[in-house]
């Protein structure tokens, strides 16, 4: 059974996927999991594979959710992304990391795509 936080996160990811599609992205995978970690959404925009981290918050009281992707999280996403590219035999593909920030207060949710939010990070 899911708690309120998990349901909120799932709703944020669904909104993010919808928004990405609306903006020309093709969703390839959602909640891609490996023993190293998880990537919320893997998509394609034109010829670029995009690894998307979704961050949702109920308000901006503690700042925009886009600022909450830590260096540790970036390293984890990078390792999973490299594993995905190897598994799908696309190691020579163009790829980037985006963050989708969803702020969902009482009004209409605010959704922002931050393209090239961070570089490949490992080590």
Q: Say which DSSP state 109 is in.
A: P
Q: What is the pLDDT of residues 85-117, one digit of tens each?
A: 999 999 999 999 999 999 987 678 899 999 999
At 96 the pLDDT is: 97
Tally of CB atoms within 10 A around 87: 11
Q: What is the pLDDT of residues 15-45, one digit of tens each?
A: 999 999 999 999 999 999 999 999 999 999 9
3 state DSSP class of 81:
helix
- In the chain, where are the structural domains located? 4-118
The first and second tokens of residue 60, run together, are 């901006």
What does the alpha-carbon distance between residue 79 and residue 66 come to, in Å, rounded to a whole number?
20
Higher pLDDT, 34 or 120: 34
- Grade residue 123 by pLDDT with cuts at 50, 70 and 90: low
At 114 the pLDDT is: 95
At 90 the pLDDT is: 94
Non-local CB neighbours of 30 within 8 Å, separated by 6+ positions: 13, 17, 40, 41, 42
At 1 the pLDDT is: 66
At 122 the pLDDT is: 67
| R_g of the chain, CA atoms, integer Å | 14
Instruction: Assign a CATH topology to domain 4-118.
Output: Trna Endonuclease; Chain: A, domain 1 (3.40.1350)
What does the alpha-carbon distance between residue 71 and residue 47 come to, in Å, rounded to a whole number?
27
- Asked if residue 49 lies in contact with residue 93, where contact means CB atoms within 8 angstroms, the answer is yes
Q: What is the pLDDT of residues 54-91, one digit of tens each?
A: 999 887 777 778 888 999 999 999 999 999 999 999 99
Residue in the structure block whose two tokens are 């999280």: 73
């Amino acid at each position: 059974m899911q708690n309120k936080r998990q349901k909120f996160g799932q709703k944020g990811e669904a909104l993010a996927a919808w928004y990405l599609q609306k903006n020309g992205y093709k969703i390839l995978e959602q909640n891609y999991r490996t023993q190293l970690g998880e990537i919320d959404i893997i998509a394609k925009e034109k010829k670029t594979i995009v690894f998307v981290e979704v961050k949702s918050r109920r308000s901006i009281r503690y700042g925009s959710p886009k600022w909450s992707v830590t260096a540790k999280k970036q390293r984890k996403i990078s390792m999973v992304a490299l594993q995905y590219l190897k598994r799908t035999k696309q190691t020579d593909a163009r790829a980037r990391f985006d963050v989708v920030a969803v702020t969902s207060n009482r009004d209409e949710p605010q959704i922002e795509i931050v393209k090239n939010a961070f570089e490949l990070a490992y080590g």
